[in-house]
Structure 1
Amino acid sequence: MEEYQNTKVLVVDDEARIRRLLKMYLEREGFLIEEAEDGNQALEKALENDYAVILLDLMMPGIDGVEVCRQLREKKATPVIMLTAKGEETNRVHGFEAGTDDYIVKPFSPREVILRVKALLRRSSQTSFLKTETTAKNVIVFPHLSIDHDAHRVTADQKEVSLTPKEYELLYFLARTPDKVYDREKLLKEVWQYEFFGDLRTVDTHVKRLREKLNKVSPDAAKMIVTVWGVGYKFEVGNE
């Protein structure tokens, strides 16, 4: 519990019952919980505050969870777990394309939510702020780009790049095996960590966003993520 003491989580759902349930279980683990009951309120809070993770309902009055996530991603890399009802697979795909890091299907077990939140925090670049010590033993260094996996920190031409957890995992996965080509199905399975039968554009969208973020600070770093037409993607060193 002490590990997550004062770690802020935003719970967003238009059903007060679900917000109360999640709040109760998360607070037992030491989390600090704030609530929002619709998309507009959620976006306002998410932009004004720094949360370790956001639990975001997909279908809400006003703007829905996908649009909240899309607008949030223009400004911040806060980890997002989408809460979806059964039968909303198409919308889940849109959620991933908008930058969602994980999703949980309703009805859910509160314990599952706790485990997913903790797993995401462990993987998230945000966790670097929760640690009292930062080690740098697990670092991958390339020309123009370095990845400190212990701190979940990416630096391109000496400038830090702010990535969402999924963007970071995708980059790290590709960078571990330079020149190895992965098709989209393999990337979905390995990076998303479970079988996901959905739109393969999810991978394309994340690659595009990752390249754009790298390109803003280092065009040379962005060029390392190479499209292999008709197959998938690879990480290529020295692609000038």
Structure 2
Amino acid sequence: MKNISILIADDEKEIADLIAIHLEKEGYDVIKVLDGQEAVHAIKTKQVDLAILDIMMPHMDGFEVTHHIREQSNIPIIFLSAKTSDFDKVKGLVIGADDYMTKPFTPIELVARVNAQLRRFTKLNQPKENTEDKTYLEYGGLVIIPDQRTVTLYGDHIELTPKEFDILHLLASHPKKVFSVENIFQQVWDEAYYGGANTVMVHIRTLRKKLREDEYKDNWIKTIWGVGYIFNG
């Protein structure tokens, strides 16, 4: 089994060193860089299984780094930043991050979140053994191919973040079943629900925009007020 390699991108060397110490104790290989350009170079040239990114870095910030990563990979991304506003948290999650922690932080919690993201990522990318299962979901003009993690709408490719895809796949796999916000968070983020309602709602909102519900008048994701969401396939 190959070693798991984690990228730490933070211009505060003391913080990067602290994180590295705790991750190495868990048996992970660590790559440390001090700015965004070095982070992008590491992603392109080295094996990286998970990235921990600061937002405010020289040369290229964490948001830009995330865009570069998502162009070529769906590895888990955790933001670790001093920026504590809800706007920054939501922006980070919407552009493709899987988790967001604020500084100051406890290394034990960060390691726990790293472990959770890697477990989830490994589970999602395991090959399917049951070849009799249908390999795609199709509802009208919407086609979801789980093995390729791709979505097309009336023949056009729809670019989704990993979390947006997971939410859509979860709902579309159980049409007409109502999922509460808490249930969606627990299944997609694979962790206990602690006030993640805003995170889920933001992802649902951006998902609806990408599915161009207003343009096509297709209400793929229906809100059941006071209860949750349902796939209207």
Aligned counterparts of 2:24 and 2:106: Cα–Cα separation in 1: 16
Q: Counterpart of 1:201?
A: 202
Aligned counterparts of 1:98 and 1:155: Cα–Cα separation in 2: 17
How far off is 1:29 after superposition?
1.3
Aligned counterparts of 2:197 and 2:72: Cα–Cα separation in 1: 29
Asked if 2 retains the 8 angstrom alpha-carbon contact of 1:52 and 1:126, the reply is: no
Q: Counterpart of 1:107?
A: 104
Aligned counterparts of 1:98 and 1:9: Cα–Cα separation in 2: 20
Q: Does 1:31 align with 2:28?
A: yes
How far off is 1:62 after superposition?
2.5
SS in 2 for 1:75: coil
Q: Counterpart of 2:222?
A: 228
The one-letter amino acid of 1:66's match is F
Pair 156,206 (structure 1): closer, same or farther in 2 beyond 3 Å: closer
Q: Counterpart of 1:94?
A: 91
Matches within 5 A, 1:1-240: 6-85=3-82, 87-125=84-122, 128=125, 136=129, 141=134, 142-143=137-138, 145=144, 147=146, 154=149, 165-180=162-177, 187=184, 191-192=188-189, 193=191, 194=193, 195-196=195-196, 198=198, 200-206=201-207, 226-228=220-222, 234-237=230-233
Q: Deviations over 1:186-239 (max 9, x none)?
A: 745763453236474333335656x69xxxxxxxxxxx99143897864355xx
Asked if 2 retains the 8 angstrom alpha-carbon contact of 1:11 and 1:35, the reply is: yes
The one-letter amino acid of 1:196's match is G
> Sequence identity, in percent?
33
Which consecutive unaligned segments of at least 5 residues does structure 1 have?
Answer: 213-223
Q: Deviations over 1:147-167 (max 9, x none)?
A: 47xxxx75779xxx9976524
Pair 99,234 (structure 1): closer, same or farther in 2 beyond 3 Å: same
Q: Deviations over 1:93-139 (max 9, x none)?
A: 110111100112211111111111111011115874xx7xx563699
How far off is 1:85 after superposition?
2.1
**Which range moves more in the overlay, 189-198 or 11-20?**
189-198
What is the aligned length? 212
How far off is 1:47 after superposition?
3.1
Aligned counterparts of 2:144 and 2:197: Cα–Cα separation in 1: 32
TM value normalised by structure 2: 0.71
Q: Counterpart of 2:215?
A: none
- The alignment yields a C-alpha RMSD, in angstroms, of 3.8
Which consecutive unaligned segments of at least 5 residues does structure 2 have?
Answer: 153-157, 213-217
